[in-house]
Chain A
Amino acid sequence: EAGVVQSPRYKIIEKKQPVAFWCNPISGHNTLYWYLQNLGQGPELLIRYENEEAVDDSQLPKDRFSAERLKGVDSTLKIQPAELGDSAVYLCASSLTSGGPGELFFGEGSRLTVL
């Protein structure tokens, strides 16, 4: 069974440019998460979806970040415009349980470098 798939794995852009990340969760997993991980730190939640509904986006910087999960499967995370401080790894995860976190399955991550 395929795991969580993310693309691109690496992205280098100049500041003020837009960037988008894509995630395909494990089949049947209704809950999808986007986490941000800075070097030497633990993952920090940006947004959590239950099917197509964003149930927790309190940590998402909405002035420049947006996310969608239109059909309750794939999801995209967009940054526009990117800033130097956005350089990090963006991790997508999915889980089978709803109403509370069970085991999270993470993708390989998308490493963003903003120059």
Chain B
Amino acid sequence: GQQVMQIPQYQHVQEGEDFTTYCNSSTTLSNIQWYKQRPGGHPVFLIQLVKSGEVKKQKRLTFQFGEAKKNSSLHITATQTTDVGTYFCAESYGNKLVFGAGTILRVKS
């Protein structure tokens, strides 16, 4: 089964509001990846985090890896309608990638 828990399962925000999704694990992660899947589409890689406490930014997206490497977050500043979709975290478990259940983001314009 899946090793990482994602919260919330679903979030509906007004355009311009911020959004955050969290990924939590009971075990120490070697690294974590984030993917975005648009409705009807396929998962697309966003970023990989490797180091404890790492913070990476991509325009309005900020990714963090916890100091203990047991959690990660994705924060979107000032959401836009193009941000809608499901955001998945995925952890390296052995030599395979295990995905969380995802957080569905809907944006009201």
Contact = CB atoms under 8 A, between A and B. Distances in A.
Which applies to chain A's interface (DSSP): helix, strand, loop or mixed?
loop
Interface residues of B, number: 21
Nearest to B42: A106
A55 B95 contact: yes
29 contacts: A33-B97, A40-B102, A41-B101, A42-B2, A42-B88, A42-B99, A43-B43, A44-B2, A44-B99, A45-B97, A45-B98, A48-B96, A56-B94, A56-B95, A91-B42, A91-B43, A101-B92, A101-B95, A101-B96, A101-B97, A103-B45, A103-B48, A104-B33, A104-B43, A104-B45, A105-B45, A106-B42, A106-B43, A109-B42
Given A56-B95, A102-B48, A104-B97, 7 more contacts: A42-B2, A43-B88, A43-B99, A56-B96, A101-B97, A104-B43, A106-B44
Nearest to B41: A108
Nearest to A109: B42
Which applies to chain B's interface (DSSP): helix, strand, loop or mixed?
strand
Interface of A: 33, 40-45, 48, 55-56, 91, 99-109
Interface string B65-109: 000000000000000000000001010101111111110000000
Contacts of B42: 91, 106-109
A36 B92 CA distance: 17
